[in-house]
Structure 1
């Protein structure tokens, strides 16, 4: 079958690498892709939000399955666009329709969904500019630190942790009155701050049954020792050692099953991935957030551990018989180290020539923010590459991925050398 992957980041690079291994794939297309995805299939310069362009591609290339990588086209309704298109409605799209994508597109929607279906999560209330006075009064009754979340998509920047009441009040006003995060912060969720250890759990569902994919932990801070500004992710490890059988049983019974059943009860069709961002609070799992796609850079650690054919699972989603499909996992640990441009997550320079990727033999190099110019691979984003290694232990995998990250060169390159150290 011919398959289209939509997106251009490290997550889509990992999907392309994995899907290209399948004997079920005739031709693989990636739109728009990056300098790395071209080695696994055909890059097509169409943006992930250009629905008409993507529709034309699907029709002209006889594409039989579409996998949506990033959240923006899902929240904007690409699945609905296909269902409402007379020539495309029979093409399976892996990724929820607009109604289900609200789990990520609206923090307020997600919190109400969790409260309605008994999914354990932090206490919260939502406010808009008309209820600002009530929001300021609510802050005075809460413990510090306190979390403020922009309701809509804010490119990973819409979450603030405030340590003083004055700071929280000022930020709430900036978000609601001054549109600090644009339209995304026209509603703000004020949420209890949970302490514990974060991890991510990934679920694939056809709307009825589901498969629990490997757990992973990502590292958001730019600096070693988890210091400095938040980023899109500096690395990841899978599996997470503390996510043992007992803990994962709690996750499945208290969170995964109520989420899948809740979608059914609410009449929300859902075919695709659910990323569940969790906090392990003394052995008890709480949901921090839902995403409606795989995470980046967690995908770069999760997919290399799936030994069987991923396309078989995707076809299970498309055909509604996912529970009949099985998959095998590697017992090894995967560690992924992200190489970023100098200055990231602030102002950074692009267009830097990248060398020595071909000398990495023991790890997989996934491209994220890259482009090719006249045969030269250059940086084209904040997060540039992800280097993933498999090892018999966390230490072995980290040692290999970190060593290989050091072998690659581009001007201003930076990466954290302590990914996963907290798990050792």
Structure 2
């Protein structure tokens, strides 16, 4: 395993921390924060079968603001880490701070950077930050008319991406190549409302060509610490085929982004966004996640998220050395400039997501998962739970993305070998995964 923490042995382990969420990201955060010499106990609300091993689960849903606030006050929680995007967009950090509770994550106003793709695109355009050209529409008929007028020949290529404006669990983005695909995507989002209120407004933007990468940064609104770049695998199937998902795996670092490219991303994208948010009176504190397309003209923004990516968080934290608690508290207190950036294990890591049969569409829950103990015994491997639940001593699948099998190795291929060896130990009826996670790096 990577080095667990810096030497803060002089600081007593007295702090109690609450993490909000129940995914693989939250399990990774709980696992990492539990290693801090300052942290005495980690709670996760509501958590999953994995967080029950590395922390203490609390039966409070992420959407239950009064319950979270009450628990934090009664248990003298030092700070709350809000994992998922929905409670951030819903203003959980604002409500926690109003109750006198320290919280890590952006305000509701700042979280609109992810909560509304239209807000994000307009901010990027106004700040001259490179991104795809786009148009916004409020009705399916207007959007369909735009496609038919711009592409009158039904046989011609239509390289566009159709996006729901609001949150859609990573699935409201439809990549199109033909006119019929674009019209179908418009109907799904704004016609039959497949993604609900997220489709009240939709975006049609040019389809950028290149390779995707994810660059995450920690910021207190003034100082930025950029984390090693990762690559996510959004499409469901091998070869980047099939529908978009919340992410089927990730690896870190990606060879696509060297020091020169990272400096360019910081200069042209990350710093300008933080400044733009400050000018908009929406100062950003927390995790700023840039989803990028590395085009022939340079890096361009596909999207911004306002929290750790899932599954990017898992391989990132496998490599992080030092005390995550120290960094989080520095962000909360607005003193990130006083903290040294974290060191990183030189070895790369990869995360392979094991999913339920049918995901990202309908899937069955309640299937017994076997082999977790064998996988846990493997060297340099950590199985982060996402859609799991304990029923007595049995672990069952309780979601679409079920496990994030994460490994660190001397090379990408070594990490991949270890991860997939662990995957082979784990089974339940209908379990599946992509077989090509990290192959882009090879």
Is 1:395 matched up with 2:413? yes
Contact 2:319-2:347 at 8 Å conserved across structures = yes
Find the aligned partners of 1:145 and 1:162 in 2 and give their Cα distance: 6
Find the aligned partners of 2:143 and 2:392 in 1 and give their Cα distance: 58
Counterpart of 2:132? 122
Tell me the TM-score normalized by structure 2. Answer: 0.91
Unmatched tracts of structure 2, length 5 or more: 1-14, 152-156
Is 1:211 matched up with 2:211? no
- Among 357, 364, 378, the residue aligned to 1:342: 357
Find the aligned partners of 2:420 and 2:143 in 1 and give their Cα distance: 49
Is 1:39 matched up with 2:57? no
Counterpart of 1:352? 367
Post-superposition offset of 1:139 = 5.7
Find the aligned partners of 1:170 and 1:408 in 2 and give their Cα distance: 38
Contact 1:211-1:323 at 8 Å conserved across structures = no
The alignment yields a C-alpha RMSD, in angstroms, of 1.6
Post-superposition offset of 1:414 = 1.1
Find the aligned partners of 1:423 and 1:176 in 2 and give their Cα distance: 37
**3-state SS of 1:140 partner:** helix
- Among 92, 95, 109, the residue aligned to 1:99: 109
Post-superposition offset of 1:83 = 3.1
Unmatched tracts of structure 1, length 5 or more: none
Deviation sequence 1:206-255 (CA, Å, 0-9, x none): 11111101211011222222222222211110000111111111111000
Change beyond 3 A, Cα 1:255–1:134 = same
Find the aligned partners of 1:11 and 1:186 in 2 and give their Cα distance: 28
Contact 2:173-2:244 at 8 Å conserved across structures = no
Find the aligned partners of 1:351 and 1:170 in 2 and give their Cα distance: 33
Contact 2:174-2:244 at 8 Å conserved across structures = no
Change beyond 3 A, Cα 1:167–1:398 = closer
Tell me the TM-score normalized by structure 1. Answer: 0.95
Is 1:225 matched up with 2:235? no
Find the aligned partners of 1:47 and 1:31 in 2 and give their Cα distance: 6
Contact 1:127-1:189 at 8 Å conserved across structures = yes
- Among 40, 46, 49, the residue aligned to 1:26: 40
Find the aligned partners of 1:283 and 1:239 in 2 and give their Cα distance: 22
Find the aligned partners of 1:134 and 1:282 in 2 and give their Cα distance: 28
Change beyond 3 A, Cα 1:405–1:171 = closer
Deviation sequence 1:246-304 (CA, Å, 0-9, x none): 11111110001101111111111222111110001137110000011111111111111
Deviation sequence 1:347-404 (CA, Å, 0-9, x none): 2222122222122222111011111111111111111111111111111110111111
**3-state SS of 2:137 partner:** strand
Post-superposition offset of 1:177 = 4.3
Indicate the larger mover: 168-177 or 246-255: 168-177
Alignment of 1:341-420 (within 5 A): 341-360=356-375, 361-362=378-379, 363-420=381-438
Find the aligned partners of 2:244 and 2:49 in 1 and give their Cα distance: 26
Deviation sequence 1:309-368 (CA, Å, 0-9, x none): 111110110111112212111111001111111222222222122222122222111011
Post-superposition offset of 1:137 = 3.0
